[in-house]
Every structure is written in structure tokens, then in C-alpha cells.
Chain A
Amino acid sequence: MSMKSVLETLESVNSKYLMFHAKTSDTDAGDAKFLFSAKDNLTSKDMETCAGSRILEGYFPAFDATVIAKMREAGGKLIGKTNMDEFGFGTFSTNSGFEIPRNPYDLERACGGSSGGSACAAAVFEDHVSLGVSTGGSICCPASFCGVYGIAPTYGRVSRYGLIDYGNSLDKIGILSAKAGDLRKYIGVIAGRDERDPTSCVQPELKNEGRRMKSVAVPKEGVEGLSKDVEAAFNNALEELRRMGIDVETVDMPSLKYAMPAYYVLATSEASTNLARYVGMRYGRQDGDYTLKFDEFFSGVRSRYFGDEAKRRILLGTFTRMAGYSDRYYSKARQVRQVVIQDYKRVLQDHDAVLAPTMPFTAPRFDDISKMSALDNYKADYLTVPANIAGTPHMSVPCGYGSDGMPIGMQFVADHWDEDVLFTMAEDWEKEFEMKRPEVGA
């Protein structure tokens, strides 16, 4: 598919899959070297940026996110801003103030979240790279559900300037693509120190040595609660890895079970402060009644335009950092993060990566999702959350297909700053694994 044909069919493809919140109307790629899309929580000068929230409707940022600027400088043309869970709050991209992207393998199923639109675009368009953002698994989960490669690099590897914050100590910008080679290529484009984001300024250089994994550790805690399809695909993948000459060893990582509650405490505590700025002034929705007193005015706008899950997480996060509760929740969660990091460091002394399935099940149907409770939703993240809370680089690669034909992914977690070993794994794996692309029709 040429760039021109992608642009010409953008409208009709999008009307089928609903991956884009905003998209280009250009039908000519000009002198672009490649096309890319970006999650809608990354600011773009030429396209509305809402982060999936109606409260931001009408926000046209005055500046490009550093990652978008870098992709453009490298010759990329931004074709669309991808649909997502509001502010990243979700596992299925169903918590959006706008459209909900459809899984390319089955339109009745979710793409995963929260970078669901990005995973969808990466699966549907050929030669397409999409920028995603992960806070608790929002790159790997949709990559797994949509059968593509996805990587979230080390916390601080990629500048977050221009990212609409969810949890500032957790957010990482990464890449989704159907091609393994794109991970190394485009992380190379977007990584690096940026004086506009202090957390990007301590990173060591990104290595490109092609170092191969010799051994991977599979935590017992990571193979519990799996669906039959996922278990079978994962076991086949382990066999394949052994055939490739990689040692596979089962290990104990007792801290992993604490990662989920610790993650939700940290993420919502931070999110509730990040979302405090949305009060109906300065940007986005500005249609409140100014004759109301400020408390009433702010509460009115926020209650009107925040979605259900955003409200839930704001309430949860406000509670967990409140005087009297903060020690039990917020401070303890911060400590648990350190414990999880130590657990990874311990295992990664003897292994090149920690490996487990990315998600415990394949992409669920929308009607099943609607029956899940909030806690059920949170619990679905138990496999992706630990690496995210630890800030360690992690990558989902497609590793099989279920009896329902839906893609299954497995997730490798490497040590801080060691993206190279993940890139190489993806490149080697791609040669062994037979990927089934979805049938795409507009």
C-alpha cells in the first residue's frame, strides 16, 4: 500500500475501525518518508488534542510534543491522532469521550487500551508506525490484543514534553508497529535528552549492539490466571525460544502481587493532581457560567465533561493522598515500587529478561467488557503493571492466536536502559514467528 493510497482511503478505513480522533485531510504525502500516527494525548500543532476527554474539546496546542516534532524532523507525516481511553484510564479504550476503536480481527471486540487506536492503526495500515503511551501497560496490552509489536522504553528514555499527563512517575512514550525492526528504528528517533523534560536528562546513551538474550526468567506469578488459549500459545512460544537456544527458567517474584494495588494508588494519586487543572478556563471547554462562585463553577464543568472512569480515578486518587490516608496508601505504594524494582534487579542479575504473557486473555467482546466491574478492569492489568511501576523497558511481541482467531502476545521485561536486548529479541522473533495480518477492507 503506497502512502498515497493510505491517505486516500483514510476516511473510509477510519469509519470502519474508528482508530482516529483527528486525522489529516491531505491526500498527498508530499516529500514525507513515512506515515505515522500518535496517541491523542500527545500535543500536535495542526490537530486538536483531547486525550480522549470531552473537557479538552477545542484544545489546539501551540506546540508539538517533542516526540511528534522528532518524528516530523525524521521525515514523518502525522496522519492522525488515535482514540484512547480518557487520559489513558482504561484497559480496552472503551472509556473514551469520543469513538471507541474496533479490533481489526473482530469488530465486536476491543483493541485494548489505553493506546487502542494506535495499536489498531499499526495493525491495519501497512508500513505504519504509531506513537503510544504506557502508564500501566497501555502499549503492551493493545499491542497484544491487535497482534503487533509494542515497546515502552525505560522511564526517562523519551521526553514527555507535550504529553498530557496521567501519572508523571509512570508515563512512558513508546512505539507500536507490525514490523519488529520499527522498534529499534523509531525509539532511536524519539529517544534522547530534552531540556524541556528534566526526567529525560539523566539517561545513558541508547545502545544498538544487537545483544542477544541467553536466558529469560518466567515468574510463577506471571503464569497464574491465564485463559486456556493464552496458556497454550505461551507454552508454544517458550518451546520456540528454547529452540532458538535461549534458556527458560521459572522463578519466584513475590513482589509482583503487590504491584497492582501500588500502581493504582500511585497512578490515581498523580492523575488526580494532573486533572485538577481542567476547570473550564484557559483551554478546552470554556462554556461555564462565570457568575457562579469558583467552587461551583469548577465542579460544574468537571462533572459535566469528565467521563465515568475519570471521575472514579479522580475520587480514588484524591482519597489515597488525603491527610490521614496518605501514609497507608500513597507513601506505602511508593515504597512498594522500590520493592518491585529490587525484585526485578535481583532476577535480572542472572537473566536477560523477565517473560510472561502480556494479557491473561485475548481481546474481549464489547458486551463482555460492559459487564466488568471497575475492580475487574484493574485486575486485568496484573501482568503489565509490574514493569510499568518499575520503569523497566518492556515489549509485547505477538506469539500466537487463540481458538477464536484473536492475537496473543507475550511481554519481555529488561533492565533499566537495556532496550537493545529487547530490540534484538523482536528482530530475531519476527524471523521465527508467522504473523497473520488481519483482513482489512474499507
Chain B
Amino acid sequence: MDRETVERVARTAHIKLTEDEIRRYGNDLAEILTYFELLDEAPGSEERGINPVEIADVLRNDEPRMEIDPDILLKDMDTYERYVRGPRLS
């Protein structure tokens, strides 16, 4: 996989790579993708198959309910006045 593609993929995935990693992952991915060319010759199928067994029509009724106290969920979170702290937006 060429350097440009590795960098683009890493940027999309939010992974910072060192020079060495760009080279190493680039080589690994190239080797793996070459092997994956096997897929090109594999037969296709009309079926969508989102799951290996059909999972259809599982729905929940519109009934509000709180099972876990939000305070317990916030306990280990870095918060400020109940807001979850995060990085700069721009």
C-alpha cells in the first residue's frame, strides 16, 4: 500500500503513525491485501446477509425507563458540573 493511502487511512481512523510505522503497516497491509485478491475470484451472492442467521423485526415498545442511575455512570468520568469534559472543538 502506497504511503499516501496509508496516511489517508490513518488520518480517517485517527491513528497517528511514526515514519517507521507508516513503512511497516504499509508493507503489512500490502501483503495482506495481495492475499485478499482471492476474494476477486470468489463467487458472489444475491443475498444481503447482514447477519449469518436472519435477524428480523426485533423492536422495543416506546416506554421510557431508566435502569441505571446516571450518577453511577458518571462516577468514573472526567466531568465538570455534570458535563463530560472533552477537547477543543476548533
Contacts and interface: CB of A to CB of B under 8 A. Distances in A.
- Are chains A and B touching in the complex at the 8 Å CB cutoff? yes
Interface in B47-78: 47-56, 58, 60, 68, 72-73, 75-78
A338 interface: yes
B39 A258 contact: yes
Interface stretch (A55-63, A123-131, A232-240, A362-370): A55-63
Given A202-B58, A281-B84, A290-B88, A336 B42 contact: yes
A300 B28 CA distance: 22
Interface string A179-213: 00000000000000001001101100000000000
A299 B87 contact: no
Nearest to B89: A294
A105 interface: no
A155 interface: yes
A286 interface: yes
Contacts of B17: 303
Contacts of B6: 315
Contacts of B1: 319
A318 B9 contact: yes
B: interface residue count bin: 35 or more
B58 A338 contact: no
Nearest to B30: A375
**Secondary structure dominating the interface of A:** helix
A439 interface: no
A297 B12 CA distance: 14
A315 B76 contact: no
B58 A201 contact: yes
Contacts of A201: 55, 58
Contact of A290 (B40, B51, B85): B85
B12 A322 contact: yes
A258 B42 CA distance: 6
A335 B45 contact: yes
Contacts of A337: 49, 52
A355 B53 CA distance: 21
Given A169-B52, A334-B49, A338-B47, A322 B36 contact: no
A319 B52 contact: no
Given A281-B85, A282-B84, A375-B32, A312 B76 contact: no
Interface residues on A, range: 35 or more
A292 interface: yes
Contact of A58 (B32, B56, B76): B76
B35 to A, nearest CB: 6
Residue among B45, B54, B87 with the highest chain A CB neighbour number at 10 A: B87
Contacts of A265: 36, 39
A156 B73 CA distance: 28
Nearest to A290: B87
B75 to A, nearest CB: 8
Nearest to B73: A62
A264 B76 CA distance: 34
A349 interface: no
B87 A294 contact: yes
B15 to A, nearest CB: 6
Contacts of B36: 261, 264-265, 329
A87 interface: no
Contacts of A333: 39
Contact of A299 (B15, B33, B42, B47): B15
A330 B35 CA distance: 15
B86 A290 contact: yes
A156 B31 contact: no
A389 B17 CA distance: 31
Nearest to A374: B28
A302 B42 contact: no
B87 A297 contact: yes
Contacts of A286: 77-78, 85
A155 B39 CA distance: 23
When A and B form their complex, which 5 residue pairs have the shortest distance between CB atoms, in order from nearest? A391-B52, A297-B87, A198-B58, A338-B45, A258-B42
6 contacts: A59-B76, A281-B86, A292-B88, A298-B87, A311-B21, A336-B44
Given A297-B87, A303-B15, 6 more contacts: A170-B52, A261-B38, A265-B39, A299-B16, A312-B25, A312-B28
